[in-house]
Chain A
Amino acid sequence: MRRAFLVAAACISVFLSPGRSLAAENSIKVGAWLPMTGAVAAYGQDAWSGLQIALEMKPAILGKKVELVLVDTKSDKIESANAMSRLIEKDKVVAVIGEMISGDTLAGGPIAEKARVPVVSPTATNPLVTQGKKYVFRVCFIDPVQGEVAAKYSINTLKARKAALIIDKSQDYCVGLAKFFKDHFRKLGGKIVAETYCVTEDKDFSAQLSTIKPTQPDVIYAPNYYSPVALFTKQARELGIKAPVLSGDGAQADELIQIGGKEIEGVAFTGHFNPKAAATALAKDFIARFEKKHRNREPNAFHALAADAYFVLLDAVSRAGGTRGEAVRAALATTKNFEAISGKLSIGEDGNAVKPMVINIVKNGRFEYLATVNP
């Protein structure tokens, strides 16, 4: 009985363990270093389904099949570092796509740097992620730009003069973005009336909101991930706070709307992508395939940017003519005017992408497109 159970358990664990593959020798292995579970599971899962479509669109390079090796970072910094080591040492990948959030990418970056394995992050926006690193790249804009656009939108469009903030102290992304917003908002003549803090697993924001309420802000800036933004905004409305809530690119997951319900209406955020603003040929193909595969769903920023990371990486491999780390790195660094799904992008200084940004707003339970801001 016990033995039968153990055998069954072993079979199940083999069946379930991610990243296991019976790979042919003649393939190029690329690591998919994604948060499939934990606080930001939606990013990883969206990225993974975006990568599936990208793989379908371009399954081979240099005559070899591309094989994606998935590892779960559990949305955790320590797990992210371990997952990166595993990809490099055990799976022997030639390059890595991921992580989706800044804190996790910062945790695994140095390991890849040391092993000279190029990393392309779809959506890690904190400037530190690539700073001083030769092998870490990204296909998204960075937070100083995002903070500036959010501050300008608050002052010019929302006519806000007083802003309140809530900052997740345990996320590099939130701390960075809040700082850039504050700097620009003050520079444009605005005043920060309240600054409150939380940590990643928090679900109750009533104390922070009750502190914010008497300061009567014109706008509340909540640069955070989808779950906390949804819960925070919901609780704000329940406490009778009517000020518009503004967020960053982390807000764009279906869960924001599902969890936030009708209270989330009117939340605007700076983002990477909106299918309605997509212009390139690659984008049209991607959106068509996505909508065919996932009925009643639109691709969001995380689907699109994961695919962009894939295409940019493959483009670099083909220009490098091989998969040697140094050569791919050099090719990645010289990416120019690549027609990606999220618009035309070039890799600039520090391995950061130079590209347009969109402003989205939640309207009638959907992400609606508001404006595009060019670099």
Chain B
Amino acid sequence: MTFSTFLQQLINGISLGSLYSLVAIGYTMVYGILRLINFAHGDVLMMGCYFAFYAFLIFSLPWWVSFPIAVLMTALLGIAIDRGAYLPVRKAPRISALITAIGVSFLLENLALVIFGGRPKAFQRPPVFGHAIEWGDLRFLTLSLWIPIITFFLILLLLFVVYRTRAGMAMRAIARDMETVRLMGVDVNRITSMTFSLGSALAAAGGLMWTLKYPQIDPYMGIVPGLKAFVAAVLGGIGNVVGAAVGGLLLGVLEIMIIALLPSLGGYKDAFAFLILIGILLFRPVGIMGEKLPE
């Protein structure tokens, strides 16, 4: 492999990895606050993409209108999921919430299948994201610059919300002890719904970037990003937003480099991702940036 091919592969890896990061931050935030692994995260992402698709198709809104609308709609969907599915099992053991999350995931997939149909739909990429940048032998899309920038700003926004607002203070308190927070007169259900809507909005943002890069949407499109984001979140230390971003980047670069260095193993890229997951769980369950869990 020549140096320029290596650089190109590195760019490919960062471009893929930043996408994983973007999806992973919402995943990890919901876990960090509610201690719930939201397996429906990928499917919420898928719904966000369909919202944007139909906003664009039916109302022919430009992307800078349809994208915020899709993010908003997905946030509302997040609240609805929380009220409908997670609220009734809030006091049940954690495993019940986990199983409910899996149920929500199936519900969303099949709902999308019935409403939108099983055939993939083509997503129109606005030209501002699709320009190719050429730099010597290296080539990449403007989108590959946009994704890390958007991820960076969303992380800043998220940290601001969690650490600098009153609602954020309540979120952090809930993460420690939900019952006591309730006794202090905080509306726990409202804060939890807010957490979900924030997580869903982040999923939608991730989904939109995903479809801009791979312009095809279908009801099962959320599964792979959901799984990869989960691996990225665990890799970075689940519950840690910055860790998830680092984990995502690392995972993306690793996946690309495996194919680049060992082309004959290209078919086993996902297997490597899950091997990493197993390895992390075995040897460093708190991830790269996670702290030791208090007993």
- B82 interface residue, CB < 8 Å from A? no
- A348 interface residue, CB < 8 Å from B? no
Whether the pair B263, A196 counts as a contact (CB closer than 8 A) is yes
Q: How far is the CA of A138 from the CA of B2 in the complex (A)?
A: 47
Find residues 210-230 in chain A having any chain B CB closer than 8 Å to their own CB: 210-211, 213-214, 227, 230
Q: How far is the CA of A234 from the CA of B215 in the complex (A)?
A: 10
A208/B132 contact (C-beta < 8 A), A36-B118, A37-B113, A258-B122 known: no
Chain A residues with Cβ below 8 Å from B219 are 37
Q: How far is the CA of A137 from the CA of B52 in the complex (A)?
A: 44
Whether the pair A41, B259 counts as a contact (CB closer than 8 A) is no
Chain A residues with Cβ below 8 Å from B260 are 207, 210-211
Residues 186-221 of chain A, each 1 if its beta carbon lies under 8 Å from chain B, else 0: 000000001111110111101110110110000000
Find residues 238-295 in chain B having any chain A CB closer than 8 Å to their own CB: 255-257, 259-260, 263-270
Chain B residues with Cβ below 8 Å from A167 are 267
A101 to chain B, nearest CB (A): 15
Q: How far is the CA of A200 from the CA of B226 in the complex (A)?
A: 17
**Pick from A194, A202, A240: contact of B134, CB under 8 Å:** A240
- B141 interface residue, CB < 8 Å from A? yes
Q: How far is the CA of A199 from the CA of B268 in the complex (A)?
A: 8
A238/B259 contact (C-beta < 8 A), A202-B269, A210-B5, A261-B122 known: no
Residues 111-127 of chain B, each 1 if its beta carbon lies under 8 Å from chain A, else 0: 00110011111100000
- B74 interface residue, CB < 8 Å from A? no
**Pick from B15, B263, B267: contact of A199, CB under 8 Å:** B267
B223 to chain A, nearest CB (A): 8
Which 10 pairs, one residue from A and one from B, show the smallest C-beta to C-beta distance? A169-B267, A37-B118, A197-B266, A207-B259, A258-B122, A41-B118, A206-B12, A197-B267, A203-B214, A207-B256
Residues 95-125 of chain B, each 1 if its beta carbon lies under 8 Å from chain A, else 0: 0000000000000000001100111111000
**Pick from A44, A170, A211, A227: contact of B120, CB under 8 Å:** A227
Chain A residues with Cβ below 8 Å from B182 are none
Whether the pair B224, A201 counts as a contact (CB closer than 8 A) is yes
- A231 interface residue, CB < 8 Å from B? yes
- A4 interface residue, CB < 8 Å from B? no
Question: Mind listing 7 A-B residue pairs with CB under 8 Å?
Answer: A195-B263, A199-B270, A202-B269, A207-B266, A210-B260, A240-B134, A258-B121
Chain B residues with Cβ below 8 Å from A255 are 119-120, 122, 216
Residues 165-182 of chain A, each 1 if its beta carbon lies under 8 Å from chain B, else 0: 001111000000000000
Whether the pair A208, B216 counts as a contact (CB closer than 8 A) is no
B254 to chain A, nearest CB (A): 11
- B43 interface residue, CB < 8 Å from A? no
B199 to chain A, nearest CB (A): 23
- B139 interface residue, CB < 8 Å from A? yes
Whether the pair B216, A203 counts as a contact (CB closer than 8 A) is yes
Chain B residues with Cβ below 8 Å from A211 are 5, 259-260, 263
A208/B139 contact (C-beta < 8 A), A199-B269, A201-B224, A259-B122 known: no
Q: How far is the CA of A265 from the CA of B173 in the complex (A)?
A: 56
Find residues 22-77 in chain A having any chain B CB closer than 8 Å to their own CB: 36-38, 41-42, 44-45
Whether the pair B259, A196 counts as a contact (CB closer than 8 A) is yes
Find residues 253-304 in chain A having any chain B CB closer than 8 Å to their own CB: 255, 258-259, 261
Whether the pair B120, A208 counts as a contact (CB closer than 8 A) is no
Find residues 3-57 in chain B having any chain A CB closer than 8 Å to their own CB: 5, 8-9, 12-13, 15-16
Chain B interface size, under 10 / 10 to 19 / 20 to 34 / 35 or more: 35 or more
Chain A residues with Cβ below 8 Å from B12 are 204, 206-207, 210
Q: How far is the CA of A16 from the CA of B8 in the complex (A)?
A: 48
Whether the pair B215, A259 counts as a contact (CB closer than 8 A) is yes
Q: How many residues of A contact B (CB 8 A)?
A: 40
- A239 interface residue, CB < 8 Å from B? yes
A17 to chain B, nearest CB (A): 11
**Pick from A36, A42, A198: contact of B267, CB under 8 Å:** A198
Chain B residues with Cβ below 8 Å from A258 are 121-122
Chain A residues with Cβ below 8 Å from B255 are 207
B287 to chain A, nearest CB (A): 24
Q: How far is the CA of A157 from the CA of B224 in the complex (A)?
A: 39
Chain B residues with Cβ below 8 Å from A201 are 223-224, 270
Residues 187-225 of chain B, each 1 if its beta carbon lies under 8 Å from chain A, else 0: 000000000000000000000000001111011100110
Whether the pair B8, A210 counts as a contact (CB closer than 8 A) is yes
Whether the pair A238, B118 counts as a contact (CB closer than 8 A) is no
Chain A residues with Cβ below 8 Å from B265 are 197
Which residue of the partner chain B has the closest CB to A241? Answer: B139
Q: How far is the CA of A201 from the CA of B213 in the complex (A)?
A: 15
Q: How far is the CA of A170 from the CA of B117 in the complex (A)?
A: 25
Chain A residues with Cβ below 8 Å from B216 are 203, 227, 230-231, 255, 259
B282 to chain A, nearest CB (A): 25
Which residue of the partner chain A has the closest CB to B121? Answer: A258
Chain B residues with Cβ below 8 Å from A208 are 259, 263, 266
Chain A residues with Cβ below 8 Å from B257 are 207
Find residues 58-94 in chain B having any chain A CB closer than 8 Å to their own CB: none
Q: How far is the CA of A296 from the CA of B218 in the complex (A)?
A: 23
Chain B residues with Cβ below 8 Å from A42 are 119-120
Other 10 A-B pairs with CB < 8 A, given A196-B263, A203-B213, A238-B139: A38-B220, A45-B117, A199-B269, A201-B223, A203-B216, A206-B12, A206-B15, A214-B2, A258-B122, A259-B122
Q: How far is the CA of A258 from the CA of B123 in the complex (A)?
A: 9
**Pick from A38, A45, A204: contact of B16, CB under 8 Å:** A204
Whether the pair A198, B266 counts as a contact (CB closer than 8 A) is yes
Whether the pair A207, B267 counts as a contact (CB closer than 8 A) is no
Which residue of the partner chain A has the closest CB to B215? Answer: A259
A138 to chain B, nearest CB (A): 24
Which residue of the partner chain B has the closest CB to A214? Answer: B5
Chain A residues with Cβ below 8 Å from B8 are 210, 213, 239
A45/B259 contact (C-beta < 8 A), A197-B266, A207-B266, A227-B216 known: no
Q: How far is the CA of A228 from the CA of B141 in the complex (A)?
A: 19
